[in-house]
Amino acid sequence: MDILNIKDLDVKTETNEMVLHDLSLSIQKGTIVYLLGPNGSGKSTLSKAIMGFENFKISGGSIYFENLDISNLELSQRARLGIFLAFQNPVEIPGVSYRNFLRLAYNNIHSKGQQISVMTFRKLLLEKSKMFNISQELLDKNLNENLSGGEKKKMEVLQMAILKPKLAILDEVDSGLDIDATKEVYKGLLQYIKFNPNTTLIIITHSLTPFSYLKPDNIFIMRKGQITRMGKQELVEEITKNGFNGL
């Protein structure tokens, strides 16, 4: 089954600039997909359009999530359907404790009327944070307040592990991380996928590291707001040799 089906998508910014043009792709449920391309090719824009950011308007085409047309749904509605975006630049929200925020988000998506208890949630957090080697001190902090760039990125994948989305888009989740932290993130992701094999992942990255942990079922190359190539592992070798320009 296709979890995501995008047909002839045109996306404009608030100032009417066309940023995605005639874009089509489909992604099968439970697959790991890579979205690659040079800076400014529209990868983040596509992820924001899927998520439903207000400053991008769909001027043509449509986005189907599990055969439901989500083009007119609000951001938070799409999140509650099971779409997750790990932000390229995670936002700081002072004074809001991570634990409270995560429990609130979890209850919104998973509770079905019965709210999870503080204790049970604490255990869940502990379990998931171990997966990514995140210390308890980090969990006691406020939402991204005074965290380093790398710490913020790790917390993004932790949020994904807690919220258990059907489709997770990871926008450069490894940028700004040192080698060890990068490994921890992808090791954790690999483990998460093992336990949640129905999760569909879209990975946006400039690094080669993820490929050794999470084998691609599909790779999409983007350029100037359009998808220009599709392929599998062999594309990686090609890009490594000749860069994006060589494609």
Partner 1 sequence: MSSKIPNIKKLYTRPSNLTKLFRQENSFKEKFGFKDNIVYETILEKGINKNIINKISKIKKEGKWMREIRQNALKIFEEKEMPIWGPDLGDIDFNSFHYYVKASAKKEKMWKDVPQKIKTTFIKLKIPQTERRFLAGVATQYESEIVYQKLKEKWDKLGIVFLDTDSASIKFPEIFKQYFGKIVPPTDNKFAALNTAVWSGGSFIYIPKNIKVTIPLQTYFRINLKNIGQFERTLIIADEGSEIHYIEGCTAPIYSSDSLHSAVVEVVVKKNAKVRYTTLQNWSTNVYNLVTKRAIVHENAVMEWVDCNLGSKVTMKYPSIYLVGDKAHGEVLSLALANKGQIIDSGTKAIHKGKNTTSIIISKSICLNGGRSSFRSLVNHTKGASKSRSNISCNALILDDKSQTDTYPTNLVQEESSTITHEATVSKINTEQLTYLASRGLTPEQASALIVNGFIEPVVKELPMEYAVELNALINMSMEGSVG
- The binding site for partner 1 (CB under 8 A) comprises 51, 53-54, 74-76, 79-80, 84-85, 87, 90-96, 100-101, 104-105, 108-109, 142-143, 159, 163
Q: Give the H or E element holding residue 51.
A: helix 43-51
Q: Which structure tokens are listed for 244?
A: 């994006």
Minimum Å gap between C-beta 70 and partner 1 is: 14
CB of 142 to partner 1, least distance (A): 7
Helix (H, G, I), strand (E, B) or coil at 171: strand
CA–CA separation, 222 and 224 (whole Å): 7
What's the min distance (Å) between Cβ of 160 and partner 1? 10
Distance in Å, CB of 102 to partner 1, minimum: 8
Q: Which is nearer to partner 1, 5 or 159 (CB)?
A: 159
Q: How many CA atoms lie within 13 A of 242 on its CB side?
A: 7
Residue closer to partner 1, measured from CB, 129 or 218 = 129
d(CA 36, CA 48): 15
What is the phi/psi pair of residue 187, to 5°?
Answer: -60, -45
Q: Which is nearer to partner 1, 153 or 223 (CB)?
A: 153
CB hemisphere CA count around 65 (13 angstroms): 21
Please say which residue, 83 or 222, places its beta carbon nearer to partner 1. Answer: 83
Q: Which is nearer to partner 1, 91 or 179 (CB)?
A: 91
Calpha distance 51→111 (Å, rounded): 22
Closest approach of partner 1 to the CB of residue 240, in Å: 32
